[in-house]
C-alpha cells in the first residue's frame, strides 16, 4: 500500500506563524495545476505499481480549488495509478472556503474526508494569527460539512500562544467534543525563523512563546480529550472510534508515498526526494519533462533513526524485535543504556518488546528520540 500527497501552494493570505511553501497570488494557478497533472504522469512508476490507499490534498490551502479542479486531478490519479476500492481522500480546507455551494459541489466528488483548519474558536486569536476566517465561520463550516453528510472530519487546533488562556483552551477543546468531530489534531505554536511571528518577536512587538504554558496546555488536552472518548494514537492526533488519519498513520509507519507539487516530499523506502519550493521553477522544469527535485539515499543509520523518531510518537510504539531483525546488533546495543535510563525516569514504558512513551515522555518526545539516535 502507498499514498499520494498533493501540495497546492496557494493561500488567500499569510498566517503569521506559517512557514509552509505558498503564494498569495493566483496568477499562475492554471499553469501550476497543469504541471501537477504532468508530474503525476511523469512519476507514475515511482511507487512501482503499489496500491494507493490514501490521497491527500495539502498546502497551502487546497480548498481554494474548485470541485471541478479537484475532480480533474483525481481523474489523472485514477488513470495512472492503481487506486484501492476503498481509499481515503482528504481535503485540507479553511472554514471561509466552505460556503454552502462549495460544500454541495464537494459532496458529489470523491472527497471523503475533510481536515478543517480551525486553530481557535475565538475571534481575537484568529486575528492575532492572521487567519482568513472568523470565529463564526469556524463553527458554521463544520456544521455545514456535517449537514452535507460528511462524517470523517478532523479539525486542527493550536495551543501555547500568549492570547490563549487555559479557560479559552478548555473551551476550544470542549467545542470539538460538543460538535462530535471524530478526529482532532492539536499542535503547539512553534516559531519558525522566516515567519512574520518570528520577526515580531525579534522586534519586541510580540511576546515570546512560553514553554511552560505549552506543556501545561498539552497535559490539559491529553486528559480532557481522552476522558471524552478519544484515543491518542499519535502525540498530536486524537481519534474517536478508530477514525485514524490513514495518510498520517502511514507516514509514521514508514509506508511509501509520492509527493506532487512544489516543495512536496516523497519516500519509497530507499530514498527521500523533495521538489523545489518555487512555483515558477517547478512549472518550468515540468514543462521540460524534468522533475525539479533533490534526492537523498537513506543509509542504515538514517532508517534506524527515522524509525525511532516516528514509531515513538505513536500508540504502537517502538518494536525492539523489528530493530533487531532489520539493523546491525551494535545499533541496538548502542542505544540500550539510554533506553533503560528513560524507562527508569518514567519517560518510556515497556510492554514485552514494545517501548511506548509515557505521559511524561510525550512532553519530551523529540529530545528522547534524539538521545536514542545512532550518530
Q: What percent of the chain has pLDDT over 70?
A: 100
On whether the CB atoms of residues 30 and 254 are closer than 8 A, the answer is no
CB atoms within 10 A of CB 334: 15
Residue 284 is predicted with a pLDDT of: 98
> What average pLDDT does range 317-326 have in this prediction?
96
- Domain of residue 53 covers 2-252
Over residues 190-201, mean pLDDT? 92
Residue 309 Rama label (left phi>0; alpha psi -120 to 50; beta): alpha
Grid cell 475565538 — which residue? 122
Q: Is residue 264 part of a domain?
A: no
275 occurs within a structural domain: no
User: For residue 193, what is the DSSP state?
Assistant: T
Burial of 241 (0-12, 13-18, 19+ CB in 10 A): exposed
State the pLDDT at residue 346: 98
**Between vectors from CA 308 to CA 193 and to CA 238, what angle results, nearest 5°?**
75
Which pLDDT tens digit goes with each residue over 217-260?
Answer: 999 999 999 999 999 999 999 999 999 999 999 999 999 999 99
The pLDDT confidence band at residue 370, using thresholds 50, 70 and 90, is very high
Out of 232, 252, 272, pick the residue that ends a domain.
252
Note whether 172 and 121 are within 8 A (CB). Answer: yes
Residues 318 and 308 sit within 8 Å (Cβ to Cβ): yes
Chain-centroid distance of CA 18 in Å reads 13
Tell me how many domains the chain contains: 2
How far is 200 from 188, CA to CA, in rounded Å?
18
Q: Of 219, 252, 285, which residue constitutes the final position of a domain?
A: 252
Shared domain for 134 and 242, answered yes or no, is yes
262: in domain = no
Where a domain ends, among 252, 279, 313?
A: 252
Q: What is the pLDDT of residue 189?
A: 97
In terms of domains, do 27 and 144 share one?
Answer: yes
* pTM given for the model: 0.96
Question: Domain for residue 295, yes or no?
Answer: no
- 257 in a structural domain: no
Amino acid at each position: 500500500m502507498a499514498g499520494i500527497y498533493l501540495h497546492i501552494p496557494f493561500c488567500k493570505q499569510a498566517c503569521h506563524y506559517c512557514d509552509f511553501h505558498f503564494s498569495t497570488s493566483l496568477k499562475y494557478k492554471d499553469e501550476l495545476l497543469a504541471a501537477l497533472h504532468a508530474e503525476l504522469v511523469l512519476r507514475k512508476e515511482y511507487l512501482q505499481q503499489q496500491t494507493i490507499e490514501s490521497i491527500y490534498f495539502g498546502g497551502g490551502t487546497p480548498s481554494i480549488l474548485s470541485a471541478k479542479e479537484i475532480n480533474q486531478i483525481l481523474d489523472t490519479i485514477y488513470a495512472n495509478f492503481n487506486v484501492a476500492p476503498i481509499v481515503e481522500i482528504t481535503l485540507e480546507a479553511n472554514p471561509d472556503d466552505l460556503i454552502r455551494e462549495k460544500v454541495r459541489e464537494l459532496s458529489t466528488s470523491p472527497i471523503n474526508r475533510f481536515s478543517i483548519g480551525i486553530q481557535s474558536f475565538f475571534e481575537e486569536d484568529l486575528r492575532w494569527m492572521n487567519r482568513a476566517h472568523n470565529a463564526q465561520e469556524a463553527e458554521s463550516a463544520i456544521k455545514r460539512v456535517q449537514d452535507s453528510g460528511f462524517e470523517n472530519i478532523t479539525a486542527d487546533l493550536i495551543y501555547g500562544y500568549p492570547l490563549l488562556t487555559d479557560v479559552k483552551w478548555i473551551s476550544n477543546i470542549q467545542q470539538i467534543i460538543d460538535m462530535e468531530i471524530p478526529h482532532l489534531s492539536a499542535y503547539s505554536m512553534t516559531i519558525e525563523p522566516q515567519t512574520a511571528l518570528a520577526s515580531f518577536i525579534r522586534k519586541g512587538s510580540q511576546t515570546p512563546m512560553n514553554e511552560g504554558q505549552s506543556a501545561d496546555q498539552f497535559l490539559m488536552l491529553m486528559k480532557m480529550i481522552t476522558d471524552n472518548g478519544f484515543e491518542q494514537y499519535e502525540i498530536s492526533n486524537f481519534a474517536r472510534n478508530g477514525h485514524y488519519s490513514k495518510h498520517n498513520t502511514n507516514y509514521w509507519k514508514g509506508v511509501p508515498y509520492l509527493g506532487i507539487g512544489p516543495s512536496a516530499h516523497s519516500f519509497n523506502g530507499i530514498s527521500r526526494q523533495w521538489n523545489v519550493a518555487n512555483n515558477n521553477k517547478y512549472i518550468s522544469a515540468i514543462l521540460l519533462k524534468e522533475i525539479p527535485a533533490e534526492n537523498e539515499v537513506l543509509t542504515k543509520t538514517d532508517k534506524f533513526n527515522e524509525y525511532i523518531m516516528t514509531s515513538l510518537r505513536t500508540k504502537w510504539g517502538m518494536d525492539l524485535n523489528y530493530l533487531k531483525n532489520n539493523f546491525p546488533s551494535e545499533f541496538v546495543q548502542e542505544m540500550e543504556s539510554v533506553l533503560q535510563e528513560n524507562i527508569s525516569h518514567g519517560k518510556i514504558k515497556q510492554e514485552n518488546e514494545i517501548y511506548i512513551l509515557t505521559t511524561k515522555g510525550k512532553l519530551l518526545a523529540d529530545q528522547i528520540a534524539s538521545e536514542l539516535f545512532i550518530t
